[in-house]
Structure 1
Amino acid sequence: MTPTSIGHPVLPRIIGVILLLSGLALVYGGIKLLMLGGSWYYLPAGLAVTIAGLLLLWRKASALGLYGLFLMVSTLWAWTEIGLDWWQLVPRLALWFGLGLLLILPWFRKPLLTPHTPAVHTVLLGIGLLMAGGSALVSQFVDQDKYSLKGTLDRTSTGMTSTAPAQPDGDWQSYGRTAFGDRYSPLAQITPDNVHKLEVAWKYRTGDVPGENDPHETTAENTPLKVNGKLYVCTPHSKVIALDPDTGKELWRFDPQLSTQRAGTFKNWAHMTCRGVSYHDDAMYAQQDSNTNTPAGATPVVSNTTTSTAANTDNSLPVATSADPLVTTVTPAPTTATNTAKTTCSKRIFVPTADTRLIAINADTGQMCREFGNNGSVDLTANMGSFTPGGYYSTSPPAVTRNLVIIGGHVTDNLSTDEPSGVIRAYDVHDGHLVWNWDSGNPTQTAPIAADGIYTRNSPNMWSITAVDEKNGLLYLPMGNQMPDQWGGNRTKASETYSAGVTALDIATGQVRWTFQMTHHDLWDMDVGGQPTLIDIKTAQGVQLALMASTKQGSIYVLNRLTGKPIYPVRETPVPQGREKAVLTSGEYYSPTQPISAINFVPKMSEKDMWGGTPFDQLICRIQYRSMNYEGIYTPPSLRGSLVYPGNFGVFDWGGISVDPVRQIAFVNPNFMAFKSKLVPREAVASGAARKSEVEGVQPNKGAPFGVILEPFISPTGLPCQAPAWGYIAAIDLTTGKKIWMHKNGTVRDNSPLPLFFKMGVPSLGGTITTAGGIGFLSGTLDQYLRAYDMKNGKELWRGRLPAGAQTTPMTYAGKDGQQYVLVMAGGHGSLGTRKGDYVYAYKLLKT
């Protein structure tokens, strides 16, 4: 075979057609991008690719040289924009490199050559390929992630100890293990040296899986409790199940027999979730009294200060089911008539239900505590007025103190300006009568409301988890805002005072002790989603009784928990202002500054951060970016459309943070995902797409001059428009306020057509925990793993594969066998699209 007989003339022409069409697309997009003030690269690149395509169709060897020059310039441009970042190089060079490889192959190249063709064309193509391919190769050994930080903290102690309420080391008695929300376990059996020996000890399936009529965001966000010698699990449909901690055998289950509130189906619900249950034990308080000689019910006095500002496939593992003879299934008796027979419940579980009840259950038997409320439950619709079925209920476990069970509620975002109150209510822990109510729309009147009264409509709510300092008599509320999220022209003075911050209430009376606002005039859904964490911090100024609040905008505020004064600086920072006349004339206004903490993970974005699987969706993302308003964090909503970064999933959401009070570090999992928001004039809302969920379709905002469209910022191929990484783990030295280390975390194994195992850094929804053994755990990533990390340097030491998404916070406890277990619930998450399930997995160390 002679050289000229290699290949076929049609082969380069196929590449020619591809290049011609690609080049024309780049030219069109490049012109549009330039008109928006974007990158110059795409127009000349499109012209070069178009001409190279035409030359290939004409069988001109000069196409090879021109394409080689195009590869060289593209590589140089990529270097200047993003350096040697592998994932950023992919959309810029991968497609062009692949087509160049085809062109240099004899079957594609030889039909273009004649005996008189200069060798320079092939040489230029080879140089271009070497530059592009070499960049990709070198980038495998270069970590240019802009947020990553390598560091080490070798200390094992600072002389500090945990001051959280005492409990047995092997228990996990509250959602955050203690009422301080620290998520720290003193167990130390699992260490960096042996964590690789973790294996599944048992697994259990609840049988509660999403149904056909369930809402889109049906989630298993539950962190179980381990107390009273049992594990207590709750499910999305508010069922409570007691399990044996060593075997996972079901002991009893309670089914509240949810009502649909005359909705017909669950389709009207925005969420269906149960983050956890709460526990109360009379004997525990009696023991405290005998140890401290404190009169029952005594509350220390603190000054009032206000600060404004599927089936089991592994038969080798034990799987508990409801067929076990030890199981008791409990359903509540009808509550239409009062049952005068009372059950003694010295130990009780409190569970909020999706149909707006607060139920007390005997922790030993699973029977309702009939002396609580009306035959065992309190009706949380009382004094709330009308609302859309599913529009109000409690997704999070209540706070429990000596005498009170205290609960807030979720209010569906962006339906109207006439939604239920965000009132916080405190009920007697034994009989369920209302003791006090704090309504942020009427904050000074905390005496129980009149029987025919209605709490302030649409006042800011508290849907997350509270923290409690009973010793100092304080309850800490992470607050949301007044609806709707993206327009605030009619908000009240009280709303503006208490929204999007932390408010401390007196436990006994519900009166405000102090409040600290973390987003002024919130127009971005920047609710304080995470449970505040209480910890005594060893600072240069001495030991401080601190509260740490993680926020969606990325700041972690560290305040004195008695006064609300910042321990680490908080600076009022100028922020972008809205300029659209139609919005300004609607009554809207903007805060000129926002409080940014010295400890923060606030991200920044520019056009060069745009991404995608190919040059084309990256170009479209660039055009989208330039077509929206974006001047950094707190860019106001607009009719043109605004980029919201970080988005309303937040840098930190309801998962909060964990701390190690001995080492004095915080373990956090920041996320960086952008959203788009666009205001829709009232007259256009009716013709817009129907609302499908809180992040799909037109959010109606009835009663406001604008509806809003909220969407993730993604490319046409469904990939994020912003380049990875999107999710990290990090540690903070609490004695200095400085970050110790920060690493991207997680893979796209379960979120891409191909099971890619590369550590891209994916978002996580759910919190971290820390242990005295120097190990931290996290399960909330989009890939299905429970991971263990060395708290010294953040290195991933172990991961356990899960059968479904585990967008929740894990926990750890000691069994009767003396071993330390790590437990996680894996049920998936509707909004994130992770695999659904009903699994509880428990791990312990492999016996040698």
Structure 2
Amino acid sequence: MAEDRLRAGGGRPGAWIWISAIVVMLIGVALAVGGVWLITLGGSWYYVAAAIGFIVTGVLLVMRRPLALWLYALVVLGTLAWAVWEIGFDWWPLAARGDIIFLVGLWLLMPWITRRLTAAGRPPAAWRGAGLALSASLAVAAVAGVVALASDLHDQAGSLPGAQAAAGQTGGGGVPVDDWQAYGHSSLGDRYSPLTQITPDNADTLKVAWTYHTGDIRGPGDPVETTYELTPLKIGQTVYICTPHDWAIALDADTGAQKWKFDPRIEERKNLQHLTCRGVSYHEQAPGEAAAPNGECPQRIFLPTADARLIALDAKTGQPCPGFGQNGTVNLWEGMADPKAHAGMYYSTSPPVVTRDLVIIAGEVTDNYSTDEPSGVIRAYDVNTGKLVWNFDPGNPDQTAPIGPGQSYTKNSPNSWIVSSADEQLGLVYIPLGNQTPDQWGADRPPNTERFSSSIIALDIATGKLRWVYQTVHHDLWDMDVPSQPSLVDLDTAQGKVPALVQSTKRGDIYVLDRRTGTPIIPAPERPVPQGAVPPDHSAPTQPFSELTFLQPPLQESDMWGATPFDQLACRVRFRSLRYDGIFTPPSLQGSIVYPGNFGIIDWGGLAVDPVRQIAFANPDYFAFYSKLSPRKQTGQAEQGGAPTSNGGAEQQKADELGGNPMFGTPYSVDMGPLVSPLGLPCQRPPWGYVAGVDLKSGKIAWMHRNGTIRDSAPVPLPFRMGVPSLGGPIVTAGGVAFLTSTLDYYVRAYDVTTGRQLWEDRLPAGAQATPITYRSAATGRQYLVVVAGGHGSLGTKPGDSIIAYDLPGRG
């Protein structure tokens, strides 16, 4: 009797088939609702077909028909066929399309399900043929998964020209071989060291030599974007660093022991958008150069601060140089209009360029807050006295002589927030410019803004006069600032050796220009781009597209991704709901996809260039964003702009509290951010981050490999090498090794520059969104690698305060 009840589906074991049927039907209903929505938007019909399969399977389970397994086998095979047709044997997109379906199939094969599928009048083994069919379909899906797992459709194998034996004999840009004297190693900005002690053959033996903790930890009152984006310097036997709160610290190059520390005691403001210091700058009095008053500070460190000061410090003692400005300090608010109203909205996050007898500095302004913001002026000061020598205001470019008393620079002109480069032989400084804020609205931009936004400019070092300008994005509505330091390298071409400038960009194009004239060496023809900006704004009809590019094809619905079919379906609906016509789709009231996103394919870390081999190492990223314009009510006082304080009206308060982008002074605010699923995962399929090698002579990408794992991004620490974004830059050495720390997982890695093969990695105690350096100790002869692991607030990586040096065991 008991056996008969179980066979008929009665009793407690039979409850599983009801539960399973309900779950299967609920999955079907969820897919049906989303699938119908997707169809109305012009998307795939698959989800509705799959929904029907799930719902009917659930009904057949309730009826205890073996046909349920036959039908579900068709769902499995149909899903597999559709997935392979859409994306091929690409493991992560394939797995996301079939994971839930595969697991449900395994569940339906469990004996507490199959042995209930024996309705009255059917033999007890009636389920076996259906079970065999479902098992076979799952086996086919598993084989397809194994094939996809063994494939790497995103790997581009290749090699770069080999290393040259003489590469390590001299330093570039006048920097001694052992040192790293500027943010980009030298004023050339190539991030290249001529050292050869660390090679592809021994890099895997690198060990920690010393660790220093700065003690500067992010506090509860600090802005979200409190970051360690530091690139240290090494001069002689001293390493110089700064911290987010602008402490300047000197360390022993062999031991990491602190030599001195200077705290400028910055005036912190709640409206600071960033709190970071990417580095300090160095100047040493050259033979024949005019000495500082009283011979003070023959070697000096220049420290920019978050309250808009430029401080000169004695490199030996860390004390301010009293003859520079006022007691060692130049106030960068001088000449700015309405400094009290704009307090906290301007400062230099990046170290200045020191060239000849000048220190040249620019600054960032608060993004997307209003049309009434500080000037983007670039200024040159005497390195000894701090006297203003010239100023280049993009809003008033012809007047470079120092402004007089009572005069002020043009408000809200395009600014430069990253490091510049200099060629002292040509007498030019090369400055990457950002956009005029707000980024997503350009209806009222004046002619000089249209000329200089998102461009590279060359200025005469001595006078600040404009020599040439090259614009990478016309009428920028996408925050596509020129985000990184230009790299200066002499290239062999069919016309002979040409002094070149290599500029990476957020949009992924690499512009290679003759740095004498700004003329492209690698062609960058103008091409039509999408139109239809919200009136009265407009879009530029064309944009310059370099033939050397990391730009990938436009996104498609099939590129949408998720951990399960459900969040992938949600991403497909979102993709179809937003406007997207490819790169340069204008911001819209509907909402637009921004791809490449504001994060950039290459951001402030830039490229590392080997000037001898004439190659580059890059870490491109791929992450879509969205932007959506929303009409705003006029709110009087808030509409006048000014500092984002809590007393500027209800709307201004809301913008402060929510971290919004109010764009005061325009008809709209803008909502923007990464394009992610309801689970917070990227909506586009991986990989999201690579390392890549570029042959600058041929203008070709030689190799490209996924880079980084989701260990520190996933809810559980899974070491899947999916390729994750990186924010920060690489360095290369004459030894043929590149180093990178800036991925979202907490590692420092070494690579063979020739092939991109990973040679070594070491776990770091925190996020390392910074660019490392390498140097050699004159005292011990050891080559060190120094990395910074302090975290990045806006990326959510673990905060810290570690400066870590590595070297080769037994060396020296």
TM-score normalized by the length of structure 2: 0.94
Aligned 1:133-212 pairs, distance under 5 A: 133-145=142-154, 148-157=155-164, 164-212=172-220
Q: Note the C-alpha offset of 1:124.
A: 2.5
Aligned 1:35-74 pairs, distance under 5 A: 35-74=40-79
3-state SS of paired residue (2:485) = coil
| Identical aligned residues as a percent | 53
Q: Give the whole-Å Cα distance in 2 for the aligned partners of 1:466 and 1:506.
A: 13
Provide, for residues 124-161 of structure 1, a one-character-per-residue CA deviation record: whole Å limited to 9, x for no partner: 3122211221111111111122xx31002352239889
Q: Note the C-alpha offset of 1:2.
A: 7.6
Q: Give the whole-Å Cα distance in 2 for the aligned partners of 1:691 and 1:100.
A: 49
Q: Give the whole-Å Cα distance in 2 for the aligned partners of 1:740 and 1:629.
A: 34
Q: Give the whole-Å Cα distance in 2 for the aligned partners of 1:281 and 1:767.
A: 26
Q: Note the C-alpha offset of 1:691.
A: 3.2
Please tell me the residue identity of whatever aligns with 1:835: K
Q: Note the C-alpha offset of 1:540.
A: 2.8
Q: Which residue of 1 aligns with 2:445?
A: 491
Aligned 1:555-570 pairs, distance under 5 A: 555-570=509-524
Instruction: Kindly indicate whether residue 138 of structure 2 is the aligned counterpart of residue 129 of structure 1.
Output: yes
Q: Which residue of 1 aligns with 2:372?
A: 418
Instruction: Kindly indicate whether residue 788 of structure 2 is the aligned counterpart of residue 825 of structure 1.
Output: yes
Q: Which residue of 2 aligns with 1:280?
A: 283
Q: Note the C-alpha offset of 1:541.
A: 2.6
Provide, for residues 387-443 of structure 1, a one-character-per-residue CA deviation record: whole Å limited to 9, x for no partner: 443210000000101211110001011110011000001111101011100000000
Q: Which residue of 1 aligns with 2:479?
A: 525
Aligned 1:516-665 pairs, distance under 5 A: 516-578=470-532, 583-584=534-535, 587-603=536-552, 604-665=554-615
* Alignment match of 1:836 (pick from 799, 806, 812): 799
Q: Give the whole-Å Cα distance in 2 for the aligned partners of 1:610 and 1:190.
A: 41
Q: Give the whole-Å Cα distance in 2 for the aligned partners of 1:352 and 1:633.
A: 36
Q: Which residue of 1 aligns with 2:638?
A: none
User: Structure 1's 453 and 134: CA in aligned 2 closer, same or farther, altered over 3 A?
Assistant: same
Q: Note the C-alpha offset of 1:846.
A: 1.7
Please tell me the residue identity of whatever aligns with 2:549: N
Q: Which residue of 1 aligns with 2:356?
A: 402
Instruction: Kindly indicate whether residue 616 of structure 2 is the aligned counterpart of residue 666 of structure 1.
Output: yes
Instruction: Kindly indicate whether residue 712 of structure 2 is the aligned counterpart of residue 762 of structure 1.
Output: no
* Alignment match of 2:92 (pick from 68, 87, 90): 87
Q: Give the whole-Å Cα distance in 2 for the aligned partners of 1:97 and 1:185.
A: 51
3-state SS of paired residue (1:365) = coil
Please tell me the residue identity of whatever aligns with 1:458: N
Provide, for residues 22-63 of structure 1, a one-character-per-residue CA deviation record: whole Å limited to 9, x for no partner: 110110111110010111111111111112122223322221
Please tell me the residue identity of whatever aligns with 2:277: C
Contact 2:114 2:127 in 1 (8 A): no
Q: Which residue of 2 aligns with 1:356?
A: 308
Q: Note the C-alpha offset of 1:697.
A: 4.9
Q: Note the C-alpha offset of 1:571.
A: 1.1
Q: Which range moves more in the overlay, 550-559 or 537-546?
A: 537-546
Q: Which residue of 2 aligns with 1:311?
A: none
Contact 1:679 1:709 in 2 (8 A): yes
Q: Give the whole-Å Cα distance in 2 for the aligned partners of 1:348 and 1:664.
A: 33
User: Structure 1's 341 and 493: CA in aligned 2 closer, same or farther, altered over 3 A?
Assistant: closer
Q: Give the whole-Å Cα distance in 1 for the aligned partners of 2:470 and 2:46.
A: 47
Q: Which range moves more in the overlay, 511-520 or 116-125?
A: 116-125
Q: Which residue of 1 aligns with 2:772?
A: 810
Q: Give the whole-Å Cα distance in 2 for the aligned partners of 1:115 and 1:684.
A: 76
Q: Which range moves more in the overlay, 107-116 or 272-281?
A: 107-116
Instruction: Kindly indicate whether residue 273 of structure 2 is the aligned counterpart of residue 270 of structure 1.
Output: yes
Provide, for residues 641-673 of structure 1, a one-character-per-residue CA deviation record: whole Å limited to 9, x for no partner: 000001111001110101111221100010001
Q: Give the whole-Å Cα distance in 1 for the aligned partners of 2:389 and 2:773.
A: 32
Q: Note the C-alpha offset of 1:689.
A: 9.6
Q: Which residue of 1 aligns with 2:260?
A: 252
Q: Give the whole-Å Cα distance in 1 for the aligned partners of 2:491 and 2:367.
A: 36
Q: Give the whole-Å Cα distance in 1 for the aligned partners of 2:172 and 2:138.
A: 61
Please tell me the residue identity of whatever aligns with 1:411: V
Q: Give the whole-Å Cα distance in 2 for the aligned partners of 1:452 and 1:648.
A: 38
Provide, for residues 199-231 of structure 1, a one-character-per-residue CA deviation record: whole Å limited to 9, x for no partner: 000001000010110000000000000013200
Instruction: Kindly indicate whether residue 686 of structure 2 is the aligned counterpart of residue 677 of structure 1.
Output: no
User: Structure 1's 158 and 564: CA in aligned 2 closer, same or farther, altered over 3 A?
Assistant: farther
Q: Give the whole-Å Cα distance in 1 for the aligned partners of 2:651 and 2:210.
A: 53
Q: Which residue of 2 aligns with 1:325?
A: none
Q: Note the C-alpha offset of 1:119.
A: 4.2
* Alignment match of 2:327 (pick from 359, 367, 375): 375
3-state SS of paired residue (1:544) = strand
User: Structure 1's 681 and 548: CA in aligned 2 closer, same or farther, altered over 3 A?
Assistant: same
Contact 1:341 1:370 in 2 (8 A): no
5+ long unaligned stretches in structure 2? 636-649
Q: Which residue of 2 aligns with 1:690?
A: 654
Instruction: Kindly indicate whether residue 780 of structure 2 is the aligned counterpart of residue 780 of structure 1.
Output: no
Deviation above 4 Å: which 4+ runs of structure 1? 1-7, 158-163, 340-343, 684-689
Q: Give the whole-Å Cα distance in 2 for the aligned partners of 1:344 and 1:801.
A: 43
Q: Note the C-alpha offset of 1:352.
A: 0.3
Q: Give the whole-Å Cα distance in 2 for the aligned partners of 1:676 and 1:514.
A: 34
How many residues align? The count is 782
Q: Give the whole-Å Cα distance in 2 for the aligned partners of 1:674 and 1:781.
A: 17
Aligned 1:319-330 pairs, distance under 5 A: none
Q: Which residue of 2 aligns with 1:103?
A: 108
Please tell me the residue identity of whatever aligns with 1:598: E
Q: Give the whole-Å Cα distance in 2 for the aligned partners of 1:90 and 1:170.
A: 49
3-state SS of paired residue (1:448) = coil
5+ long unaligned stretches in structure 1? 261-265, 290-295, 298-339
Provide, for residues 5-33 of structure 1, a one-character-per-residue CA deviation record: whole Å limited to 9, x for no partner: 69921222222121111110110111110
Q: Give the whole-Å Cα distance in 2 for the aligned partners of 1:697 and 1:665.
A: 41
Please tell me the residue identity of whatever aligns with 1:771: T
Instruction: Kindly indicate whether residue 517 of structure 2 is the aligned counterpart of residue 510 of structure 1.
Output: no
User: Structure 1's 71 and 728: CA in aligned 2 closer, same or farther, altered over 3 A?
Assistant: same
Provide, for residues 739-782 of structure 1, a one-character-per-residue CA deviation record: whole Å limited to 9, x for no partner: 11000100010111121112100000000100011000000000
Q: Give the whole-Å Cα distance in 1 for the aligned partners of 2:41 and 2:697.
A: 47
Q: Note the C-alpha offset of 1:561.
A: 0.4
Instruction: Kindly indicate whether residue 408 of structure 2 is the aligned counterpart of residue 454 of structure 1.
Output: yes
Q: Give the whole-Å Cα distance in 2 for the aligned partners of 1:713 and 1:57.
A: 40
Q: Give the whole-Å Cα distance in 2 for the aligned partners of 1:344 and 1:118.
A: 93
TM-score normalized by the length of structure 1: 0.90
User: Structure 1's 105 and 476: CA in aligned 2 closer, same or farther, altered over 3 A?
Assistant: same
Q: Give the whole-Å Cα distance in 2 for the aligned partners of 1:25 and 1:389.
A: 51
Please tell me the residue identity of whatever aligns with 1:149: Q
Provide, for residues 554-576 of structure 1, a one-character-per-residue CA deviation record: whole Å limited to 9, x for no partner: 00000000110000000101111
* Alignment match of 1:237 (pick from 239, 242, 245): 245
Please tell me the residue identity of whatever aligns with 1:655: G
Q: Which residue of 2 aligns with 1:385?
A: 337
User: Structure 1's 137 and 2: CA in aligned 2 closer, same or farther, altered over 3 A?
Assistant: farther
Q: Give the whole-Å Cα distance in 2 for the aligned partners of 1:838 and 1:721.
A: 33
Q: What is the RMSD of the two structures over their aligned residues, measured on CA atoms? A: 2.0
